[in-house]
Amino acid sequence: MKKRQYNVLDLFCGCGGLSKGFEMAGYNIVLGVDFNEPALKTYAYNHHGSKTLKGDLSSAKTFEEIEQIIGRKKIDVIIGGPPCQGFSLTGPRNFDDERNKLYLAMIESVHRFSPTAFMIENVPGMATLYKGEVRDEIVRRFTKMGYNVTCKIICAADYGVPQIRKRLVFIGLKDSTRGFEFPTPSHSVENYVTCEQAISDLPSLVDDIGSDVAEYVMPPQNDFQRLMRGECNVLYNHKAVDHKQFVKDTIALVPDGGNWKDLPKGVGESRKFHMAWTRYKSDRPSRTIDTGHRNNFHYKWNRCPTVRESARLQTFPDDFVFIGNKGQQDKQVGNAVPCLMAKAIGEELVKYLK
């Protein structure tokens, strides 16, 4: 008997980190919806067989377009990471405020398509915002719609991601008597995948800034690098920023895992905030990958990480190609959900869908 592939709708999909992880877990990604055109181009290029829609998810028109694209397909799972900035301004009593309309779109989508399960990913700060009242209201609304909701802050490094990235995840199961149990971590502090283990096989770019399409210079050095390469034999998006010499000289003074506090007096003083001049620590996972990467530097080489290096730290496989200019690509990588974390959740969720 053919194994059932569960259909997934990805809202606020960005370039598709969540979709890629669920795809790795065996799901069929039907559609990705977002308003960011460069991110959607990357999504379309990498998710063959999945459709894309550029649309404003606060608009009823967009939901009508989604319904037309999906047709008679049953949506089994809805996934997404809607922005939640509005809640910090409006508070739980003004949950339906206009500024929260994008988050409310996630609730509307579950109401419309009645999936068997949903997953929402967000920043961990939402768990404690207004003493947890916003989180509790989200759970209450989905519970009222017939979903058993579980939420938990999880760390991507626990699932083989070489990055300390914490996220609040909501999982809802329709008409279920049991709540979702998050997957058991595959890694712990003692065996986290490190920055060096993640990217040491990639060219140093010491003598040139590289190119968007290049070749590997050495074979994979460990299981993680073999996993990321897969069958890929071309190196994409590995191009460095052409730093000015004084920037390179300043970075060179920062030790492995150090930051601006390790610089000599009078050097690099234009940047003195928490993350300034931070060099990745070779024997630890990276900090959270952000959308700029201008304050984080390679653990060994005197430059910012390339898009491919950041993508490795987000566990995008090497055959995942990012479209757009460097700034757009950095934003796509930084906004994404780490693929291996999404895969672990997707694999666990299958048990509840059967």
pTM of the predicted model, to two decimals?
0.95
Query: For the segment 327-353, what is each residue's pLDDT rounded down to a tens digit?
Result: 999 999 999 999 999 999 999 999 999
Indicate whether 249 belongs to any domain: yes
Task: State the first-to-last Cα distance of the chain, in angstroms, to the nearest integer.
Answer: 14
Number of independent structural domains in the chain: 2
Q: Are residues 23 and 161 in the same domain?
A: yes
Alpha-carbon gap, residue 78 to 220, rounded angstroms:
35
Domain that residue 327 falls in: 191-335
What confidence category does residue 273 fall into, taking pLDDT thresholds of 50, 70 and 90? low
**Which residues are identified as catalytic?**
84
Q: Are residues 326 and 348 in the same domain?
A: no
Query: For the segment 80-120, what is each residue's pLDDT rounded down to a tens digit?
Result: 999 888 888 888 888 988 888 999 999 999 999 999 999 99
Residue 279: CA count within 13 A, CB half-sphere: 25
Is residue 4 a contact partner of residue 66, using CB atoms and an 8 Å limit? no
Indicate whether 2 belongs to any domain: no
Q: Residue 64 maps to which CATH number?
A: 3.40.50.150
Place of tokens 């008409």: 175
Read off φ and ψ for residue 180, nearest 5 degrees: -70, 135
Residue 227 in tokens: 């996993």
Query: For the segment 127-149, what is each residue's pLDDT rounded down to a tens digit?
Result: 998 999 999 999 999 999 999 99
